[in-house]
Structure 1
Amino acid sequence: MFDCLRKIVKNEGFSRLYRGISAPILMEAPKRATKFAANDSWGAFYRNLFGAEKQTQSLAILTGATAGATESFVVVPFELVKIRLQDRASAGKYNGMLDVVKKIVAAEGPLAMYNGLESTLWRHILWNSGYFGCIFQVRAQLPAVEPGNKSQQTRNDLIAGTIGGTAGTILNTPMDVVKSRIQNTSKVPGQVPKYNWAWPAVGTVMKEEGFAALYKGFLPKVLRLGPGGGILLVVFTGVMDFFRNMRGE
């Protein structure tokens, strides 16, 4: 990770570290909103469907997986633009986010903006099922929060969210690797791309490069999404409490 950082700065300049930042900045708000809104909505749906009064471990995993699938439809176009901008081979090919969209649509058609949808679905299904499944289990193991004790609530959410984010990252990194390869491959009429569908692409990477290749980039990813999962849950809980108090709920 540090060798990569050093070589990028040395050979391409410090600004290269932030190339493609506009897409993830625009993506974060709708992505996170969809994640938690879908998780709440699907949770209510599944509890009603299975006649469960309260959330269970299995329902938490199922709800998270379905929320991840829902979230994917928001994420894919932004991820595609980010991947194309950040790839070293594409340096100089695109002049910004809108230029990426224009050139992809012109060369590959409007539906190309959803290249990698299947692999993104798997990536988010695995991450969210691990994340929300772990949150449910870890919260159950932690000391109960005293009513109105914000520091205890923050502690529990930070621990549960961090463990959930780490578990989700372990589960979904192989799909993240193949998703990036699928989205970074331009569609050529009459040719079948080397990386086309998620699970066959996993098999191709393992066959040609070994199992470890499926976890390339794992360290920086888990350093981002482990603690990030904790912060995400703390902020979400705090903001929801704020709005509930404001509305008198």
Structure 2
Amino acid sequence: MDFWPEFLAKSWGREFVAGGFGGMAGVVSGYPLDTLRIRLQQPNNTTSAFNLLRGIITSEGPSALYRGMCAPLASVTFQNAMVFQVYAVLSRAFDSSTSNMDPPPFKCVAMAGVGTGALQSMLLSPVELIKIRLQLQSSNSNRQGPIKLAKDIIRREGLRGIYRGLVITVLRDAPAHGAYFSTYEYTREKLHVGCRKSGEESLTTMLVAGGLAGVASWVCCYPLDVVKSRLQAQDQSQPKYQGIVDCFRKSVRDEGYSVLFRGLGTAVARAFMVNGAIFAAYEITLRLLFGNHETKQIDTEEEGLQKEMLTKSS
């Protein structure tokens, strides 16, 4: 019974819980658009996002838009919590300044984001593999749940099969997370000057800065995401692509360079909504768990320094 109070008394405990709530808010708010994105990225799919949405609802029902959500939702608490915690640790590690009062410079933010993206791919790659295959199941196919599907992949393909697409996931997520955290920190500071140090900003700032961060991360990595989706979605008994370069070459040869940006509009719309929800839920949860303790502590220390300087000057 004493675990949670002691756990939440630690800074990383609050980061963990807040990151989990942020991730769950993101998954629930943006999953239907993510399903559209995955289907739009598949070979020989030339329909528009609106027609695809209408077709799914008509033929499969609205619940089809949430098919496979259990897989990312079940892991998102730990995954998102680790992303925010690893980012916080790395941003401090890359910051060579001796002052703990100032936020890390944007260069350290970008480097920490790149490292965070690379590390979290180890957890994210199997989850996305299962999610993509669940999203591509139609109403007429022999549907499987996430656990059964994961066991089936491991039985047929081994551990290598469940981690199929890991390399392309790292190549996608490392630069994307660098852009993600850099854009968020830069935008929130521009919208609410001084908030990086005070830890106080409006809900609008959280939503807009988080939304723009998500858009920036998707725009810079979207072609790699198309390749990743195709590699993870293909039937391994009769694979069409032999690797990252082969998938890129064949996709462009068969469907033109525009295929690398198919579904980008849906992804960007989803990214703004999802990441606005993630950062807003994350920041609000931190305030509920932490209150203004850190801000008051900073203010108290600054007041003490000012009083000390005044005493010396007098």
Pair 1:45-2:90 in alignment: no
Deviation at 1:46, TM superposition (A): 1.3
Give the direction of change, closer, same or farther, for the CA distance of 1:181–1:149 in structure 2 (3 Å limit).
closer
More relative contact order, 1 or 2 (CA 8 Å, 6+ apart): 2
Give the direction of change, closer, same or farther, for the CA distance of 1:178–1:91 in structure 2 (3 Å limit).
farther
**Which residue pairs with 2:136 in the alignment?**
87
Give the direction of change, closer, same or farther, for the CA distance of 1:203–1:61 in structure 2 (3 Å limit).
farther
Give the direction of change, closer, same or farther, for the CA distance of 1:183–1:234 in structure 2 (3 Å limit).
same
- Distance between the aligned counterparts of 1:178 and 1:170, measured in 2? 14
Give the direction of change, closer, same or farther, for the CA distance of 1:99–1:143 in structure 2 (3 Å limit).
closer
- Which amino acid in the other structure matches residue 234 of structure 2? T
| Structure 1 contact 94–100 (Cα < 8 Å) conserved | no
**Which residue pairs with 1:21 in the alignment?**
69
Deviation at 1:89, TM superposition (A): 6.8
Deviation at 1:20, TM superposition (A): 1.3
Give the direction of change, closer, same or farther, for the CA distance of 1:200–1:134 in structure 2 (3 Å limit).
farther
Show structure 1 runs of 5+ residues with no match: none
Pair 1:100-2:146 in alignment: no
Show structure 2 runs of 5+ residues with no match: 1-48, 298-314
Give the direction of change, closer, same or farther, for the CA distance of 1:153–1:204 in structure 2 (3 Å limit).
same
Larger C-alpha radius of gyration, 1 or 2? 2
**Which residue pairs with 1:169 in the alignment?**
218
Residues 93-137 of structure 1: CA deviation (Å, up to 9, x unaligned): 442111111211111112211111111112222321111111122
| Structure 2 contact 207–277 (Cα < 8 Å) conserved | yes
Deviation at 1:88, TM superposition (A): 4.2
Q: Secondary structure at the match of 2:234?
A: coil
**Which residue pairs with 1:113 in the alignment?**
162
Deviation at 1:186, TM superposition (A): 3.7
Pair 1:236-2:285 in alignment: no
- Distance between the aligned counterparts of 1:196 and 1:10, measured in 2? 36
For the aligned residue pairs, the C-alpha RMSD in angstroms reads 2.8
| Structure 2 contact 117–174 (Cα < 8 Å) conserved | yes
Query: Where does 1:49-88 land on structure 2 (aligned, <5 Å)?
Result: 54-88=103-137
Deviation at 1:200, TM superposition (A): 5.0
* Equivalent of residue 194 in structure 1, options 241, 251, 264: 241
Give the direction of change, closer, same or farther, for the CA distance of 1:246–1:37 in structure 2 (3 Å limit).
same
Which range moved further: 178-187 or 12-21?
Answer: 12-21
Identity %, equivalent residues: 26
Give the direction of change, closer, same or farther, for the CA distance of 1:78–1:149 in structure 2 (3 Å limit).
closer
Deviation at 1:193, TM superposition (A): 5.3
Give the direction of change, closer, same or farther, for the CA distance of 1:64–1:149 in structure 2 (3 Å limit).
closer
* Equivalent of residue 232 in structure 2, options 179, 183, 194: 183
- Which amino acid in the other structure matches residue 116 of structure 1? G
**TM-score for the superposition, normalised by structure 2:** 0.69
**Which residue pairs with 1:158 in the alignment?**
207
